[in-house]
Structure 1
Amino acid sequence: MTPRTTGLLLLLITAINWGATWPLLKFIMTGLPPLTLRAWGATATALVLLGVSLLLRTPLGVPRGQRGRLVLYALLNITAWMAFGTLALRWLSASEGAILAYTMPVWTALFAWPILGEKPGLGRTLGLLIGFGSVAVLFAGRGAAMGLDKLPGMLLILSSAVLFALCSVLSKRWPLRLAPMASVTWQMGIGALPMLVLAPFIEHADIGSVSGEVWFWFGWMVVFSMGVSYFTWFGALSRLPASTAALGTLLAPVLSVAGASAFLGEPFGLREGGALAGVILAVGLAITQRDRPA
């Protein structure tokens, strides 16, 4: 299997796991407040990954010159993406949150050109337009009033998308010289710290009222949506152009809408099906294109 094929497979696994995340978050928030569930989830994931790393004897040492970069990437990849994105669900539905979050490929493509010299060819440009257009049409079809009542959520979710995209490009330009398992473990642990500190000051978690079903899906999120998906995302990013990897994640919001329909009762009709077809076409155009020098 070539590195490109492996990268595409890892990207598909990432998109599936991230697509399932948004309906799960909305459900888990019926028992746990948003920042708390992300803080605890990231911490639990870091501890699980630490245990696996020790079991596999993965070197966890961080060279002195890599430490500042590691902290920056953790804050962008984990803290900003998780905290801002999950807090936004106070104002947005699961589908709305997922759709807006995955404007991320637009920002990635914009950052990748000046920082990485990934000048988009015609196919990738068309893929970007079709993919983002499909997501925009999908959002327009939700029938949600985009008024001031949703503005805080929109700003939070778009901020998380922009910062995550920036980190994806920066990590391609200046990668961490760590084993993938060590990189994910450290980033998850460091990224959890600001959320752990802030959560008690802005929300209250009533642990005694949390149902067993909520805890089950919380555990599922820790293992798959956070642990496995970040590992596969970094693996895909190391094997694919940043803009292609980011565009591939456009599958996630469509899967989120399908999941929200199945588990949360949100609608799934012709508009959603058309968006799915458009996103698949966009991803196909992106992954068949080779890079062009700037």
Structure 2
Amino acid sequence: MAVVSDVRSRTLSPSMSLIIIVGLSIIWGYHWAVMKIGLTYCGGLTYTAIRCIIAAPLMLAIVKLRGGSIRLKSPKAAIIVGIVQTAGNFGLGAIAVKFGEAGKSAVLTYTMPFWVLLLGFLFLGERAGPRRWIAASLAGVGTLLVALAGGVEQFMPVALAVIAGICWASGVLLYQHFHKRHGDEPTVFAAWQLLVGGLSMGLFIPFVPGEHAIEWTPAFIGALTYTTVLATVVAVYLWFLLISRLEAGMVALGVLLAPAIGLASSWIQLAERPAPLEALGLGIILFAIAFFAWAQWRRAKAVKAAPG
């Protein structure tokens, strides 16, 4: 599989990083509309558990075919990240899409960079400049507007999408912590944590409302194939490759195109039309993400230019 390149190299060139980030944004951005179609025929946790349980062995098989080892140095790390990032982010995000709107869920989940900022500040003592805090505050305002516009009926999907973003941010920081300590090969780690996440979600399927028997229609099979192969095997590999090579904040901001693509594709393909107040909130969040990216770029440029 061409996308599975040699992940043992320590760095990625700027051009390769850009190609990977743009490709990842397109795959994940359009996936929100695809997932909404698939969830018409399946419950959210069921759909997500299937994608992970199928994708994990495929990724491990690719590693074996390349002559690599599929053993982990730290199984405990894969269990923790699998529960927090995969079960938390993928599972809650799918339920949010099931009961809400795909485009809105995409934008709210991609508040993840701001949660990376906040969690890094609270638990790691990482400092951020005023521009990034301004962006985070704007995102908070936008999220509040979206929540208010949706009313009581849409509160649960909105809350779940936001919590999915928090789980994603937590997974980023946890993975980078474990990767520095143990140095597991990213593809192998990604596969095992996917399997843990898929099995964890499977345990909760009987207790979650909205889970029901699968309707094996051509639309469902097509959506699940896209989700499993492109949005999971390929995209999760690329994600772990990036966060093992680049700083967490840079990676988080690098995929800022994805929520815009998710919103646009849901508008076009699913005819999702946000109400005026909701559209304003979503627009503020997208602006905040872009402003955050600009602030992060300015910071990285200043650090690079500093003497010594």
Judge same fold: TM > 0.5, yes or no: yes
Query: Of 13, 17, 33, which residue of structure 2 is paired with 1:23?
Result: 33
Equivalent position of 2:244 in the other structure: 238
Please say which of residues 279-288 and 44-53 is displaced more in the overlay. 279-288
TM superposition shift of 1:255: 0.9
* Alignment partners' CA distance in 1, 2:148 and 2:217: 30
1:206 aligns with 2:216: no
Task: Single out whichever of 115-124 and 250-259 deviates more from structure 2.
Answer: 115-124
Q: In structure 1, how many angstroms separate the alpha carbons of the residues matched to 2:105 and 2:285?
A: 16
2:198 equivalent to 1:192: yes
Identity over aligned pairs, percent = 23
| Kept after mapping to 2: 8 A contact 1:254/1:275 | no
- Pick from 41, 44, 49 the counterpart of residue 34 of structure 1: 44
Consecutive unaligned residues of structure 2, counting only runs of 5 or more, are 1-9, 304-308
Q: Distance in 2 between matches of 1:228 and 1:278?
A: 28
TM-score w.r.t. length of structure 2: 0.80
Question: C-alpha deviations, 1:196-231, integer Å up to 9, x for none?
Answer: 222245455434x43212211210111111111111
Q: Using the alignment, how far apart are the partners of 2:287 and 2:166 within structure 1?
A: 25
> Shift in Å at residue 47 of structure 1?
2.0
Once residues 278 and 164 of structure 1 are traced to their aligned partners in structure 2, the CA distance between those partners, rounded to angstroms, is 18
C-alpha distance in 1 between matches for 2:116 and 2:156: 23
Match of 1:217 in 2: 223
**TM-align CA RMSD:** 3.1
Alignment deviations for residues 15-63 of structure 1 (CA, whole Å, 9 cap, x no partner): 2222122111111111122111111111111121122122112211123
Report the 3-state secondary structure (helix = DSSP H, G, I; strand = E; otherwise coil) of the residue aligned with 2:235.
helix
Residues 141-182 of structure 1, C-alpha deviation per residue, up to 9 Å, x if partnerless? x79832222222222222221122112112223325211111
Q: Match for 1:163 among 136, 152, 167?
A: 167
Instruction: Choose which of 148, 157, 160 in structure 2 pairs with 1:153.
Output: 157
* Cα distance change of structure 1 residues 7 and 68 upon mapping to structure 2, 3 Å threshold: same
What is aligned with 1:85?
Answer: 93
Query: What TM-score comes out, normalization by structure 1 length?
Result: 0.83
| Preserved contact between residue 112 and residue 242 of structure 1 (Cα < 8 Å) | no
Alpha-carbon contact 2:85-2:170 (below 8 Å) kept: no
- In 2, the alpha carbon distance for the partners of 1:109 and 1:152 equals 24
The 8 Å contact of residues 112 and 243 in structure 1, kept in 2 or not, is answered as: no
Indicate the SS of the match to 1:149. Answer: coil
* 1:174 partnered with 2:178: yes
